[in-house]
Amino acid sequence: MNRSLRRSRFRVVVPAYPAFNIYSRIARLTTALGPVCIGTVVSRMEGWDVEVIDENNYRKFGPKDSEGRPDHATLQLIRPADVVGLYGGLSSTIPRLYDLARFYREHGVITIAGGQHFVGENVRDALDNGIDYLVMDEGEETIQELLAVIRENREPDAVSGVAFMRNGQVVRTPDRPPIADFDGMPLPDFDLVRYAKIAVYPINWVRGCGMDCEFCTVKGRPRPASVHRIVEQIAALVETRKARQFFIVDDLFGQRRKESLELCRLLTEYQAAIGLKLDFTVQIRLDRASDAELLQAMRKAGVTMVCIGFESPIPEELEAMNKKVKPEEMLALTRLYHKAGFLVHGMFIFGYPLPEGVRLNLSVGQRVRHFRSFIRKSRLDTIQVLLPVPLPGTALTERLAAQNRIFSRDIVGWEFYDGNFPLLEPDDPLTPEEMHLALRKIMGRFYRFRFFFVIGLNILLFPAMIFSVFNLGRGWGRWYRSWRNALKRFGGWLVMRRWTAALKRSAFAERIVRARDGLRKARLASSRSATPDEKP
């Protein structure tokens, strides 16, 4: 069929998390921003119809298969796609992504994938698993050129930033320079996301990050959009989709101090002009707590929650991570955020593998007590504790691979790469089993069933707490934080309970044993193959 004679359909799919993933609850309230941006630029191209299917937020009238997931066979029946784009931003969704790619390829659909997972050996792996083209790095410009090539039946060699197979070999075209002019791009169109109910809208202000953390995939010189573009995007969502809640996804809100203050001022004035209060969550560094002017501006603008990467409350681990802060300083800075009126969400990594030559002689029980003590003293509103993940393309993964410490993905597959499972042999004296249990102990102490009764108690005490202080606003704030946190902590208990049940069904403990045996055999084989001079 000559594609140039009719309109073509481009479907972007965000693959579902594994069934036992603990992020499924929040995913039902939001969506991934990257696929929306890709879909938006394609929707502006002549001859293309576009839709985005987020399998994690698929709730309104969408056809479903026997497992409750989107029924892509029916979608192809009622609205056939000519080209399907698959979002590979999370390694844990790659098995599902490959299943979808093979399904669509079998139905004669061209498949394109992109995302941070596809680096190194994963490029060939993807092209061997149903992917026709890979878009490397940012995709808004690349996807437009690639689809034009596909529609006109031309060779893709002239398109920068793609990889594909030719005669059994991987062909990768020259890299494309990072996008610099964000103001010239269309605003993300969330109307393209079919069947979803979106309550929290993601906003991207700055791409890239200059912190260069060993474990993180976000790299490169920070490139911001203008402050006025961000306000324009928020205003458009308020006016067209009645949006009220937003998550600014950048890791370093406030680092560009002058622009951050200007953004807060414009948002404050906009909300006053329309007579509405908006709610913002931001990710921010702990040290920004000492900037009182910034905190005040953020509160006026409607920022209610700050997400902070504490990483660890153990001094030796902080030093090894090159964190220029001590636990007691972290507590003091956290109190400043609370004093300013923010909810604080704390993010931690348990059992981070230390650099060679650095040793931490703490048992798993001692480490757990450090975490519990810090979380209690800091009075965090919500927490997320993860295990270290050797994500593709990071310096951490390179270091651990050189030490032969990463479990085989033939045993511990990509579906476990979400931070909730041990994926590597930890530092002595820890074991993978202990790390897995420690994660559940820390989270299980924080998210507990007893908060069900605290919810009811808060409802009963509502009038007393509101009117027991002269400042009505302060009374409301105290009551709301207590009620809200009890609700979150009981809800977290429900999620943990379901996740634990699914974990038992997955027989993951058996996988750990097999993975450790595999590492030992690999090391033994390596030792035997070494020459006498090479052996230790």
What is the total count of domains within the chain?
A: 1
Amino acid making up residue 125 = D
Q: Is 61 inside a domain boundary? A: yes
Q: Is 237 inside a domain boundary? A: no
* Cα(526)–Cα(536) distance, integer angstroms: 12
Return the structure tokens found at 402. 């050189």
Each residue's pLDDT tens digit, 241-255: 999 999 999 888 999
* Contact criterion met (CB below 8 Å) for 448 and 489: yes
Q: What is the mean pLDDT of residues 45-69?
A: 95
Amino acid 60: pLDDT: 87
Q: What is the mean pLDDT of residues 498-517?
A: 86
Q: Which residue has the higher pLDDT, 169 or 208?
A: 169
* Cα(81)–Cα(104) distance, integer angstroms: 9
Model pTM score: 0.92
Q: Is 11 inside a domain boundary? A: yes
Amino acid 4: pLDDT: 47
Amino acid 301: pLDDT: 98
Q: Is 57 inside a domain boundary? A: yes
Q: What is the mean pLDDT of residues 501-509?
A: 82
Q: Is 102 inside a domain boundary? A: yes
Percent of the chain exceeding pLDDT 90 equals: 74
Amino acid 175: pLDDT: 95
Each residue's pLDDT tens digit, 359-382: 888 999 999 999 999 999 999 999
Q: Is 89 inside a domain boundary? A: yes
Q: Examine the pLDDT at 531 and tell me if it is beyond 80.
A: no
Domain span including residue 41: 3-172
> Among 74-78, 140-144, 479-483, 531-535, which is the least confidently predicted range?
531-535
Q: Is 414 inside a domain boundary? A: no
Q: What is the mean pLDDT of residues 467-479?
A: 62
Amino acid making up residue 12 = V
Amino acid 208: pLDDT: 87
User: Band of the pLDDT at 454, cuts 50, 70, 90?
Assistant: confident
CATH number of the domain where residue 95 is located = 3.40.50.280
Helices 432-446/508-529 angle, 10° precision:
150
Q: Is 430 inside a domain boundary? A: no
Each residue's pLDDT tens digit, 92-132: 999 999 999 999 999 999 999 999 999 999 999 999 999 99
* Cα(295)–Cα(337) distance, integer angstroms: 8
If you average pLDDT over every residue of the chain, what do you get? 91
User: Band of the pLDDT at 65, cuts 50, 70, 90?
Assistant: very high
Q: Examine the pLDDT at 533 and tell me if it is beyond 90.
A: no
173 CB contacts (<8 Å, ≥6 apart)? 156, 157, 158, 159, 160, 161, 162, 163
* Cα(80)–Cα(74) distance, integer angstroms: 9
